[in-house]
Chain A
Amino acid sequence: MLERLQNVDRRIIYVLLFIVCFIPMANPIGIPLEVNETTQMVYDIVEGLNPSSDKVLFVMDYSVGGSADVHPQAVAVAKHLAKRGIPTVMVAFVNDGTMFAEQIITSLGDQVVYGTDVINLGYMAGMETAVKAFVEAPKTAFNVDFRGNSVASQPIMANVSSIRDFSFIIDFQTGQPGYQDFLRQLPPGMSYAAGIVTVSVPNVMPYLNSGQLSGLLQGLRGAAEYEVLLREPGEGSARMDAQSMAHVVIIAFILIGNAAYFLSRNKAGGPKA
């Protein structure tokens, strides 16, 4: 019995996880969600921007594989920027990013005017080299945007002559290029925040603690917290109950496995020399 508890068939774990995730998504429980300080920091920055003088650089550096974690964050922040009327320049250094940028712009509908309130510059290949090229000359880095329009003729790019013309940069990423590339290439003193996958959170925290990052959205939970602050529930909030229940199941299995291990050790007469 103890042996079986230490080696539970993984298919049982998968099926249980699936059930435990599906039920709360079909019938939400409404577990209260406390907003993290790092999410609040991002929200406060966007709230403090001036629509008539500030511009935001919205970097879409996430791929399809991690989009379930990061896309809800990007949607929530984009909605906030659109609501406040902050001009937003979208760019991607990952080839999937342009697709998500177009999805977000389409979802914003009449809230934004393309070319004036928002623009999708497109994708620039080259990883950190591309980031550096863009940081050095954001206006001339792209001749045409993703939709084939001349970048120089777009009103939103009129007063952009250097990277410092962006009051805030937010970078949604799943890997490379990511926060490290931007931190290496951005001039000092720029307000830069990141929306990352949950897996990367421990690696990024030192940069937040040192003040190099102005804020951080931590995975799907970060998206849910931002939606709470925005008072507009979306994909993030809808999945939080299921996330919590899944964690309960995983913790239960960890406890069962460990209990079975220690009990079997005691039964066998203590640890072997």
Chain B
Amino acid sequence: MNVSTDPWVWFMGIGMLALFSFIFKENQAYRLFEHIYVGAAAGYAVVINYGNIVDRAFVPLLQDGQFNLIFPVILGLLLYTRFIKPIAWISRWPMSFLLGIGVGISVFGTLNSMLLAQTKAAMMPLNSINNVIMFVGVLSVVFYFFFAVEQKGAAKQFSRVGRYVMMITFGVAFGNVVMGRVSLLLGCISQLFGDWLGII
């Protein structure tokens, strides 16, 4: 057993145990470390993002003479007018700008890579069991959500196939969620018993 002498590792270990104590009952120790975690994460984000703004906006603007940056800097500052009631309406302008840019940037890529590429990939040759299963699965699931036709008879049966495919998919998704959460638990155990207590 090789217990760590680093005070921050001790802090991590005690904090982790305090957060895990929520499993049994909510308690003051859990609340304390929950607040510490939220505060530390927020503080880190503030520092990193402040540095980002200084490095990417103010330094190029004031030191490197990139005066074209004044426009986005002003728009960014105008976002904060949201907190001043009489002029809160001004913040709608930069917000609209952000929304417009966001949509513009993503719409072409969404159509291309999310829709067209996936549709093309679904048009597969039916020369293997895998491909047949995928083809039937895609069609049946899409048909399950097709409400222009009354789902009775053969349509109802095909739609039911789609439902079963989705149920299997949700089961797979659940299995992956379980696996992911266990991985996170293992990370915690590794830090507690490895980095802190030196047992592992």
Contacts and interface: CB of A to CB of B under 8 A. Distances in A.
A239 B186 CA distance: 7
A88 interface: no
A268 interface: no
A242 B188 CA distance: 13
Interface string A199-213: 111100011011110
**Interface size range on A against B:** 35 or more
Contacts of A185: 105, 109
Interface string A141-167: 011100000000000000000000000
B105 A128 contact: yes
B184 interface: yes
B59 A25 contact: no
A178 to B, nearest CB: 13
Q: From DSSP, what is the main secondary structure of chain A's interface residues?
A: helix
Interface stretch (B2-10, B88-96, B113-121, B150-158): B113-121
Contacts of B172: 202
Contact of A69 (B41, B173, B180, B200): B180
Interface stretch (A15-23, A50-58, A105-113): A15-23
Contacts of B187: 67-69, 239
A180 B105 contact: no
Q: From DSSP, what is the main secondary structure of chain B's interface residues?
A: helix
Given A144-B55, A185-B109, A212-B113, A68 B121 contact: no
B125 interface: no
Contacts of A132: 105
B28 interface: no
B186 A183 contact: no
Which one of A98, A122, A198, A220 has the greatest number of beta carbons of chain B within 10 Å? Answer: A198
B81 interface: no
Contacts of B49: 95, 125
Given A17-B185, A220-B186, A95 B199 contact: no
Interface in B25-57: 41, 44-45, 48-49, 52-53, 55-56
A21 B59 contact: no
A25 B190 contact: yes
Contacts of A198: 176-177, 179-180, 183
A243 interface: yes
**What 4 A-B pairs come out closest when comparing CB atoms?**
A184-B109, A68-B187, A210-B121, A198-B180
